[in-house]
Structure 1
Amino acid sequence: MSLVAGFELPTLVAYLAAAVALILAPGPDTMYVLARGLQGPDAGVRSALGVATGVLGHTLAAALGVAALLRTAPTVFTLVKYAGAAYLVYLAVQALRTEEFDPTTTTENGGSFRRGVLVNALNPKVALFFLAFLPGFAGSGPDAPVRMAFLGVLYAVVTAIYLSSVALASNRAGRLLARTRLSQGLQYLAGGVMVVLAATLVL
């Protein structure tokens, strides 16, 4: 089989399929970017880039062996889950504030990026993917960290492209629905979904 960046093509295709399936599954990352996209295209795209940057943090942790440490320390992983749930509740409260997510107002773009990083960093779904799948696809040997880094960057790029598209689509929808009851309803829906996601993390 031909090699792509040191990987056999079937292995790389299987990894991309697993990554895309996880990225497309609705979760905290998608809901946060969706809510920020309602606020403005810049806020939405910066949030998407923040989430993608968070993916690089997971990659670095896996490459440095932190992933193996978390796998053998369930208490630490549980603390990460609770921290992620608490942060989702905080974001849900923000989503219910009209001045925070009103599509006709502006936002602080730097805050969107930083919060995107935190949302992803505290997302157990992504952490589990990197714990369970990334080392398996990267294999073993002295070049494993390099291969792991490549797979993580690939995941981050796909994440950035998809979530940026979500942000722009959300912004278009928000502008069409601005000054209607549906616009406010979307804010409550985003907040409600994030509360549900937080509950699923701790149950």
Structure 2
Amino acid sequence: MTWSGLLAFLLASLVLAMVPGVGTAMLLKQSVRGGRRGALATVAGMEVGVAVWAVAAGLGLSVLLVASRLAYEGLRIAGVCVLLWFGVKALFGRHKPDVDAPTAGSGFRAGLLVNLANPKLAVFAISFLPQFVPAGSARWTLLLLAGLWVVVDTVWYLGIVVLLSAILRWLKRSEIRRRLERASGAVLIALGIRLAVSNSM
């Protein structure tokens, strides 16, 4: 792989990470509820999920998901349920900072679940990574790119954590906290509905 190709891959990975989606909404929700510790745990869980799909794509395992409509639909339904669950909980739940503040473990699980149950992420890994691998390259090249993708994604979300931490005191105000958590819940529900009505692989 050439240096220009590697640079193009890194820039593409950064742009893709910057596009707001499920990860951003979940990170905002967990930051408001659990502070920096909760946000970092959520990022860790999200990136483990990204790594699973990236490595699966590198090994060719995710192709099975695309080839099997039943497997894809099962994962899509699971993804819808996960997003709606977190969204409804954030939108309609009782918000008591001293009672329901999440642990680092719950933040990790939340981040992991939203990415593991995201079929679009798996399909994207299959279509995105191979474009940057020269024909005839060894499989380790694809695995290396998968690792770099995870690193770029992690750096971006850690940057968001730093930004959120800088305004955390403002975010922790009870009224602001309730509004932000409900807003993130509404976004998660909307993303879940969009995934539910999407039939394309």
Same-fold status (TM-score > 0.5): yes
2:64 maps to what in 1?
Answer: 69
Whole-Å Cα distance in 1 between the matches of residues 19 and 193 of structure 2? Answer: 17
Q: Tell whether 2:45 aligns with 1:50.
A: yes
Gaps of 5+ in 2: none
Aligned residue for 2:109? 114
Contact 2:59 2:143 survives alignment (8 Å): no
Structure-2 residue corresponding to 1:184: 178
5 Å-filtered alignment, 1:132-143, equals: 132-141=127-136, 143=138
Say whether 1:166 aligns with 2:140: no
Q: Calculate the TM-score normalised by the size of structure 1.
A: 0.85
2-structure distance, mates of 1:168, 1:35: 15
Structure 1 letter corresponding to 2:103? E
CA shift, 1:192, in A, is: 0.2
**SS of alignment partner, residue 84 of structure 2:** helix
What is the CA-CA distance between 1:183 and the residue it aligns to? 2.3
What's the counterpart of residue 79 of structure 1?
Answer: 74
Task: Give distance in 1, aligned partners of 2:126 and 2:15.
Answer: 16
Please tell me the root mean square deviation across aligned C-alpha atoms, in Å.
Answer: 2.2
1:26 and 2:20 matched: yes
Give the direction of change, closer, same or farther, for the CA distance of 1:165–1:98 in structure 2 (3 Å limit): farther
Choose the corresponding residue for 1:149, options 143, 148, 151.
143
Percent identity reads 28
User: CA shift at 1:182, angstroms?
Assistant: 2.6
Distance 1:124 1:27, change over 3 A: farther
Shift in CA distance, 163/173, structure 1 to aligned 2, threshold 3 Å: same
**Structure 1 contact 103–175 (Cα < 8 Å) conserved:** no
Assess if the C-alpha contact under 8 Å between 2:57 and 2:122 holds in 1.
no
Q: Distance in 1 between matches of 2:41 and 2:128?
A: 27
1:192, 1:198 → 2: CA distance? 10
Structure 1 match to 2:196: 202
**Counterparts in 2 of 1:8 and 1:142: CA distance versus 1, 3 Å:** closer
Change in 2 beyond 3 A, CA 1:36/1:171: farther
- Aligned pairs, how many? 195
Gaps of 5+ in 1: 1-6
